Each structure stands twice: as C-alpha cells, then as structure tokens.
A and B are shown apart, each in its own frame.
Chain A
Amino acid sequence: AQSVAQPEDQVNVAEGNPLTVKCTYSVSGNPYLFWYVQYPNRGLQFLLKYITGDNLVKGSYGFEAEFNKSQTSFHLKKPSALVSDSALYFCAVRDTPMAGGFKTIFGAGTRLFVKA
C-alpha cells in the first residue's frame, strides 16, 4: 500500500518568515500527491496536488510544494507566513486502486503555528 509520512508533529515559524512542512512518500508507480489544510472546527480544504509535470506545484493561499523523486519528498512551502496560516496540514497520497475505486491516504498531520 502507498503511504505518506509527516515527520514533524508541529512547526513553529514567525510571521513573515518562510515556512516548510515536510512530507515523504512511499509508492509503487507514479505518485498522486496532495496537500490539505484543516482549520479549527472545519473540514479539510484542498491546497494543491501533484500528478505529473513540473516539480514545483503552486496552490491556494500562496502555498507551493516541491516534488522530489530522488528524495521521495513533497514538502509544502510558503515564502512568507501569515498568522492566519496557523492550522493543521495533511499530506496525502492516492492508494493503489481497488475494485474500481480509490482511497486517499492521509498522513498524521502537522500543526503549524505562526507567531506574530
């Protein structure tokens, strides 16, 4: 089965500084990778995805992610963090298809704190 790992439970960054939230993946075949964000008392919201093409993927709210095949990583980045970016971030991967369906597997999540 495919899987993703988020090695950091929490990331702290000062407002205005660049942020990175790390994700590594383990897949057989071509990976379909995603980032989602969850704000308090809300459902998850899609940020960006990598299917194929450019290794640098741009997404919502100024976020981007870099796909690195040799390091099997898909780190989420933002050049300048905002306090409002504080949330729970999930990396996700499409699992191997089964019986005509797919499931998306989520990492454990990384909590981002942006201090003013």
Chain B
Amino acid sequence: DSGVTQTPKHLITATGQRVTLRCSPRSGDLSVYWYQQSLDQGLQFLIQYYNGEERAKGNILERFSAQQFPDLHSELNLSSLELGDSALYFCASSVEISGANVLTFGAGSRLTVL
C-alpha cells in the first residue's frame, strides 16, 4: 500500500456521461498530480495541485477538470465522455513541488467508456 488512495478502482460508463475520480494523497503530502495512462498515448500528465492551488497543467482536455480541497484530497471530473477517454487514471502525491521530489502513485482508477 503506497498510502495514496484512489476510488473507484473500476468504472464502466457510457459515452456522454460524467464521472468523478477521487484521490487521497499520502499523509503529509501537499502536492497532487493526475496522469492518464492509455495503450497508445503512454503516461500523460494532466494537472498538478499544491495545497489547493493549481500549479502545472498538461494536455488536459477542456472536458476534464480537477480540484484539490482543503483536506488535500483531489477530484478529477471527466464529462461528455468519449470512447477514447477509456484509460487508467493515476493520482500521485509528493511532499512539495520541487522537481526533485519522488512521486508516490495510487493504484489507479480504470475507466471504461462504452
């Protein structure tokens, strides 16, 4: 157990729907990162939060949004889902935002869009 908790583990939904993925970072970690892992795109950085504030953004679609709450947990919202959104979504956390920090990953949320 890495200490980063992601729910749900699996999610099956239909095109056009909206889902929310949740992440609780490791105790003491202030920074949360979201990544998407798909077979054809590899591991793609989506967004980073530090202590409630957005700090770095990757190739995150406009249909996707995220936030980090005062208790430091984070949610990734995916809307108007398309078949191509099917992927593993990972949350990771680190103590600070220094680039030297190691990322601790959760087990991921597998999203299947039918």
Contacts and interface: CB of A to CB of B under 8 A. Distances in A.
B48 interface: yes
B56 A103 contact: yes
Interface residues of B, number: 27
Contacts, number: 71
Interface residues of A, number: 27
Nearest to A6: B42
A43 B56 contact: no
B100 A46 contact: no
A51 interface: yes
A22 interface: no
B100 A43 contact: no
Interface stretch (A12-20, A64-72, A94-102): A94-102
Contacts of B103: 36, 44, 46, 104
